[in-house]
Structures are given as C-alpha cells and as structure tokens.
Amino acid sequence: MSGLAGFRYLKRRRITTLVLILTLASALFSMMAFSLVGFYGGFIAYMGGGEDIVVLYDKGSSTPFTGLVPAYLAERIGVLEGVLASSPEAIAPCIIDGRAVFVRGVVPKEFAKLTKLKIMDGEMLQLNDTYSMIVGKRLARTLGLKPGDKVLVFSVLRDQYVELHVKGVYESGSVMDDEALAPLYVGQWLRGADYGHVTLIRFRIDKGAISPVRIFDEVAKEAEEPAPGRGEPSQQQPPGQPIIPRITARFTVERIGVEEAQRFMKSYMERYGVTREALITLSALVFLFSGTSIVAASRSIVAQHRGEIEVLRSIGASKKLVKRDLLVKLLPWSIVSSSAGVTAASVVMVFIHENGYLQVLSHTVQFQPDPLIIAINFILSIVLVALGVIRSELG
Amino acid sequence: MALVLGCKMLFRRGGTAAFISAVALLIAIPASTNSIYNSISYQTQVIGELVNLGRTYLILSADSRALTDSQVERILASRFVGLGSIDYVLPQRVLVADLATGSGSYTAYIRGVEDVGSFLKTRRAYLNGAIAKGWAEANIGEILARALSIGLQDEVDLAVGDRQVRVKVVGVYRSQTQSDAELLVPIETANILAANNHTVSLIELSLKEGVDSHEALSQITKLLPENVKLVQPQQLREFTQQMNTQTLVFLNVWSLAVYAAVAAASHIAVMKLITESSYELAMLRALGARKHHIYTTVLAYTMATALLGSILGIALGTAGAQVVSTILRWIHRGIELSPFMEPRQALQIVFLALASSVLGCLYPAFKTARVRYVEQPL
C-alpha cells in the first residue's frame, strides 16, 4: 500500500473543533505578540526613528519623561558643524478634561525639523503663541477638541494649571498623535522645571560630520565652565529678544547621556528586562500553554475516527502510514487555522488601534505586523498538531 | 446517587488530568498578568503618596471648561477667610484683552487680583521693579514682556469691548507659571474692563501646612453653593489611576481570547470524553438514566474539572510570575516587582473560567443526552 491519499475518511465536522481551537490559540498568540511588540516598537520610536536622531538626556532619571537637562545646551550644541536641528523638549504628564495626557513643550520650528507634522485642521503652532497648543488627531478625537476650543490643563507634578486654546490638530503617524504640543515655556511650567531646564534635547545630525561621542565631548567641556547667575527678569526687553530667558545652568557631566534615539529608548526598556525577543518569547509561551488543548484536539480527532482507522489497519495500513496520512491531511488545516487566527487578530488590532482603545502611558499601542510573529505562529501550530497525531494511540 | 456514579465514572477516564492541565495552563495567563498588574499598581500608588501634593484648590463655576468662561460670586471668598485651615484666599478675574503698545496691538491675558504683592508671593515670583498698587499700574510676566518687547515704565492700553484703560508697567516678574504670560493688575482695573464688580473668574484657596486635608475639604465643601466646583490643580491621583486602568485594559484584552480558548478546550475535552465513554453512557441509559441525568452528569464533570483547573492555574500563574520577577531582580537589580493576587480577582477568574467551560460543554452535553442508547455517533 503506497499511500492513503485516495482514502477520504476524515469527517469535516470533526475537524472543526481542531480548526476552532487552533484559530483561537493563533489569535491569542498573535494578539498578545502584536500588542506587546507594537507597544515596544512604538516606545522605541518615540524619540524619532533613524540613526540620525540623537538624544541628550538625564542619566539619573528612571524614565525618559522625568529627567532634567540644561536647556541652553540645545543652543550650544546646535551651532556645531553637522548638527542640523536641535529641539529642546519639556514633557509633562497632565490632565485635560479628566483624561491623562502628555503635553510636550517644544520650539515648534526646531521640532518640525525632527518630527514630520501634518496640520489637518487649524494652524501650526509658533513659539510666541503664549496661550495655544496643537493636539494630535487621536487626542482630538478622544477629547472632542477642535481649533478654537479652550481647555484647562492641570499639571500632575506641580500645583499648576494653564488655560490653552487649541490652535490646530496634527497628524504625525506615530504615538505623538496621542499628545499635545505647546510652546516650550508652557511645557516647562507644567513640568515644574525652570526656564533653564528641559526634559531632554533631540538633535538631528549629519553622521558623516559629527557623532554622539563628539557631542558628549562638547557637553563635557561645557560642564567644566562655571555657570553665571540664575538670571533675573530683565527690566528692558529689546526687540527681537528671545522669548524664553536664557539661563546657563550648572551641571555635572556624569548626569548627562548622549545616545542615538532608538538605542536610548531600548536601554530604558532593557533596564526592566523588556526586549523584543523577551516579549515574543513570552507570547510564544502563551501559545504553548494552549498547546495542551491543541494536542488534545488532535488526539480527539484520531479517537473520533477510530472506526475508520481500524478499517484501514485491517486492510494492511501500518500505524506509521496512517499517522503520516493523518499528518498530511491535518497540517493544511493547521495552516488555514493559523492564517485565520492571525487575520482575526490583525483585524481586532487594527480596530483597536484606529479607535485608540488600547493605551499604555496614555499612548495608543501601535499595530506592527511582524513576519517573525507570523512565522512562529505557523511553526508552533504545525508542531503541536503533529505532536498530537504522533502521540495518538491507534490501537 | 446517579449523578455521583456518573461523575465517578467520567473522572476515572484518562483524559481528566489532561483537561485540568489544559485549563490550568490557560488560566495561568490571566492570573500571572493580574498579579503583575497588582504589583505595578501598588508601587505606583506608593510612589504617588510620596510626592508632596500641592495644597491649592480652585473654585470655578460648575459648567466652565476654562478660566475665562467661569463666573463665581466674589462674596463667596469671604466665607473662607475665617476658617482656621485656610492659609490664603485669592479671588481673581481673568480676562482676554486687546493690548496696544507702541509696536502694535496684541491679544493678551489680564489677571486681576486683590493684592498683587500677595499673589506674587504665592507664586514665589522674582520681581524687577515695584508691585502694582493703583488701578493705573500693572506688573507684567517676563514671557509676555519679551514677546511684546515691553519694559518698565512702558504704558500700554488695555481694551475689552468698548472699555479701555491705560496702565503703566511698574514691574516685570518671573514666576515659572502661566502668569509669566499675563499682565497682572489690581482687581479694580480688571473690574473696569469687565464692567462687573460682583463676580470673579476663580477663587484660589490654599490650605495651611500640616492641616488634615480631608477635614478641611469637607468644611470647604459645605460652604460651597451648587453652581460651583472645587478643583485641585495637581491631579496626581487621577493620573496614576488612569495609568493603572490603561495597563489593566491592556492585560485584559488578552483575557478575552484566553477564556474563548478555555471554552474551546472544554468543548474538545468533553467531546473526547463522550466519545471514549459512549459504552458507559449507553449502559447508564439502559439502566434507566434519563436525558437530564446524562446532561447534568456531563455538566457537573465539566464544572468540577474547570474549578480544579482554574484553582491550579491561579496558583501556577501567581507562583510563576513571582519566580520570574525574582529571577529578573537577580539579573537587573533595579527591577522591583512583587506579584500578588487579590481574593476578588481570583474569584473573578474562577467564575469566568467556570462560565467559559460550561459554555464550551453545553453543545456536546446536549447532543449526548439526546442520543438513544442503541445509536453510536458517526
């Protein structure tokens, strides 16, 4: 007996259960993996993608949002050859209309050189828009905001409140669509920082002309310079004076870190043991936890077809041949089920992402289909079904 | 008796341990995620309590979304002046006005306060110049001064509608608050512009240090009319609560798929059990067991195994999360996670596991109950 391909003894109705459990297990794994990897990917890209974005940050802070670095370094480093843009940013956790939101104080002209913003409604922010902010499209949708609206923004870190007008709604295609952007000094008020400090400074560099190491060397030279006084409010404001007082704050170089943006975010995550590989492994473990059910379903199919299998055995089919035939017939179903599971998970994740239902730290979890996750899905499905068939007793 | 016999018969089947394991492993997922969430939530709460919360509160009109939309009776402020728990009471009027200088006309925020000096003191502001005293004097925030190139002794015209006032800037201050983008005037000046002496935009209160805030707030709330609201500017607790809720939702999205998988696992296990126990079930029917006996037996078996599986799964998930967090702590010293499970959550997980299992077994149980004892399902 060369093969059993011509024998159609598997009842489609009985295979349904295996298909169902495989689809569910695949969907569970895919949803978990996509959401975890999406959160990770969104967080890593938070400071900007590409190797030409460098971040100057406070090494002593436990999160990217809570450190403080001297603001004047933006100007000082910004004049170096090879530095194409320099964006000081003050990130403040706030409450707007009862909702947790991050407000980012920026110098709009410099910020726009690092992060592409498309104004969908209203106008772009300027540094002298003292009472204005622009909001990301997802935040605008969540809070029902449009240009012209007024809101009270309450700080989380200080006893501060600010009334701001919505000047525009922007789209960035990133997690910043869940944030609001305001002039730098507004971010400093809400963050509780003085005009001499910001949360971090981002630079866009020409990698051929300058490197993060060179920038750090310049920062180290600045640290050795004694800082002049705090800077009192000046009596006379000549025209063209920068709107934000320039304060040269003293600092120690040990507290300052300079790194490529993505590596900077990855290092924060790694402090807590969170890596892309760890997250995918965790999701795979979850799939394996459902493995008992998948193996049981495979064995159940064999048990349900005991009669047919006994007929095949009685006409000369060996156990090995029957098992091989079962594998050949069931594995395509496992591929179909895995595909259905991945598709279902993708649809759910797209829906969740578009509507901003799933958030971590007030930022929508990004949906990032990952070929590795899809491949692991198929491999695990095939392996578990095969295991169930091979370990079945055929009598 | 028939139920007990039927259950004993089904429990003796080889697949029971595998079914309990399958449910346990699936339930371990939400159990571990919930226990990790509890740890993170607890730490966030502890960190939140370490932060010194501000003692400032604002009284605004109940329906207002912004300061400039709010109108509160000015006389309300006098109710709080005598309270021992209050450090200061500052009624303020905030207006949007047209500000004209030598270089042009701009829109600016004007804040009128009863005592400009006290206001600047509460903001811990640095002042260059003098405190504005009369209605024709003003202090200007440094940001606004820089934006409009206004300096000491400059005169500016303020206009709201058809009401105009000319003031002289006698001081430039820096407070690191929104007031740095405002013109600060005595409240009389703001009242002239608003043509209204009776209402203010907000009343700012501050509690004395060391005062029991709950008791003080209770006293204050009793004195408030219904058309106002009391707001604390520093909303740390609301922020951390929302962060925790977001984390919980993130973790619970997977729970939906987990419980669906539990229902499917239950369905498979019961189908397999029924297939393998067809002879015994047929014997029970032959001995007089009715359809509902068979149905109840299968349901009871499913519920018992799901209960055992979910209890085992909760233990496995919680213990597993604790082991992993201990290992992570050895590898990365900065990580401090102590997963734990709350009884309420454990009961919820058990209930959902039971419900999912019962849902999964309903169809096979119903189908088996309807089969006549001479028939074999093909």
Look-up of token digits 């079962």: A326
Q: What is the pTM assigned to this prediction?
A: 0.83
Position A270 in a domain: no
Task: State how many domains chain A has.
Answer: 2
Identify residue A9 by its one-letter amino acid code: Y
Which of A151-165, B275-289, B302-316 shows the lowest per-residue confidence on average (mean pLDDT)?
B275-289
Distance from CA of B214 to the nearest CA of A (A): 18
Q: Which residue from B103, B242, B332 is facing A272, i.e. has the nearest CB?
A: B332
Domain match, A211 and A306 both: no
Is B255's pLDDT higher than 50? yes
Q: Which residue of B has its CA nearest to A195?
A: B176
Q: Domain span at residue A78? A: 72-224+244-248
Taking CB atoms and an 8 Å limit, are A273 and B332 in contact across chains?
yes
Site from A14, A293, A306, A347 to mutate, B interface, most B CB atoms within 10 angstroms:
A293
Q: Which residue from B51, B181, B253 is facing A130, i.e. has the nearest CB?
A: B181
Is A219's pLDDT higher than 80? yes
Q: A181 — phi, psi (to 5°)?
A: -110, 135
Q: How far is CA B152 from CA A235, B137, B167, B367, in A?
A: 6, 11, 11, 91
* Model confidence band, residue B2 (pLDDT cutoffs 50, 70, 90): low
Which of A389-393, B29-33, B92-96, B168-172 shows the lowest per-residue confidence on average (mean pLDDT)?
A389-393
Is A205's pLDDT higher than 80? yes
Taking CB atoms and an 8 Å limit, are B180 and A296 in contact across chains?
no
pLDDT value at position A230?
45
Mean pLDDT for B316-335 is: 80
pLDDT value at position B214?
86
pLDDT value at position A152?
94
Mean pLDDT for A114-133 is: 94
Distance from CA of B268 to the nearest CA of A (A): 6
- Which chain B residues have a beta carbon less than 8 Å from that of A270? 332
d(CA B280, CA B287): 11
Domain match, A160 and A114 both: yes
pLDDT value at position B70?
93
On whether the CB atoms of residues B299 and A327 are closer than 8 A, the answer is no
- Which chain B residues have a beta carbon less than 8 Å from that of A96? none
Is B378's pLDDT higher than 70? no
**Domain residues of chain B, as ranges?**
2-49+238-370, 56-233
Is A234's pLDDT higher than 70? no
- Which chain B residues have a beta carbon less than 8 Å from that of A98? 238
- Which chain B residues have a beta carbon less than 8 Å from that of A94? 239
Angle (CA) B295 B298 B300, round 5°: 105
Domain match, A25 and A115 both: no
Domain match, A93 and A31 both: no
Position A66 in a domain: no
Mean pLDDT for A281-288 is: 77
Distance from CA of A61 to the nearest CA of B (A): 12
Taking CB atoms and an 8 Å limit, are A154 and B145 in contact across chains?
no
Domain match, A322 and A382 both: yes
Q: What percent of chain B has pLDDT over 70?
A: 94
Q: Which residue of A has its CA nearest to B55?
A: A159
Supply A305's token pair.
Answer: 């077809």
Residues 6+ apart with CB under 8 A from A219: A56, A73, A77, A253, A256, A258
Taking CB atoms and an 8 Å limit, are B109 and A163 in contact across chains?
yes
pLDDT value at position A272?
67
Taking CB atoms and an 8 Å limit, are A292 and B22 in contact across chains?
yes
Taking CB atoms and an 8 Å limit, are B144 and A93 in contact across chains?
no
d(CA A24, CA A31): 10
A244 lies within 8 A of chain B by CB: yes
- Which chain A residues have a beta carbon less than 8 Å from that of B148? 237
Distance from CA of A182 to the nearest CA of B (A): 12
User: DSSP letter string over A160-221?
Assistant: -EEEEEEEEEEE-SSGGGGSEEEEHHHHHHHHT--TTEESEEEEEE-TTT--HHHHHHHHHH
Is A332's pLDDT higher than 60? yes
Which of A30-34, B9-13, B83-87 shows the lowest per-residue confidence on average (mean pLDDT)?
B9-13
Provide the residue count of chain B.
378
Position A53 in a domain: no
Mean pLDDT for A252-270 is: 84
- Which chain A residues have a beta carbon less than 8 Å from that of B104? none
Position A260 in a domain: no
pLDDT value at position A31?
84
Q: Which of A161, A248, A243 is nearest to A197 (CA)?
A: A248
Q: Which residue of B has its CA nearest to A28?
A: B257
Q: Which residue of A has its CA nearest to B250?
A: A358
Choice between B322 and A230, residue whose per-residue pLDDT is larger: B322
Is A273's pLDDT higher than 80? no
A246 lies within 8 A of chain B by CB: no
Distance from CA of B120 to the nearest CA of A (A): 14
Domain match, A30 and A104 both: no
pLDDT in tens, A154-199: 999 888 899 999 999 999 988 889 999 999 999 999 999 999 999 9
Is A290's pLDDT higher than 80? no
On whether the CB atoms of residues A188 and A195 are closer than 8 A, the answer is yes
Q: B359 — phi, psi (to 5°)?
A: -60, -40
Position A51 in a domain: no
Sort residue A281 into left (φ over 0), alpha (ψ -120 to 50) or beta: alpha
* Model confidence band, residue B193 (pLDDT cutoffs 50, 70, 90): very high
Distance from CA of B184 to the nearest CA of A (A): 15
d(CA B48, CA B42): 10
Domain match, A184 and A281 both: no
pLDDT value at position B334?
62
- Which chain B residues have a beta carbon less than 8 Å from that of A239? 103, 149
Position A56 in a domain: no
Look-up of token digits 């901003």: A356
Taking CB atoms and an 8 Å limit, are B126 and A232 in contact across chains?
yes
Is A12's pLDDT higher than 50? yes
Taking CB atoms and an 8 Å limit, are B246 and A361 in contact across chains?
yes
The pLDDT mean for chain A works out to 85
Q: Which residue from A95, A189, A289 is facing B239, i.e. has the nearest CB?
A: A95
Position A231 in a domain: no
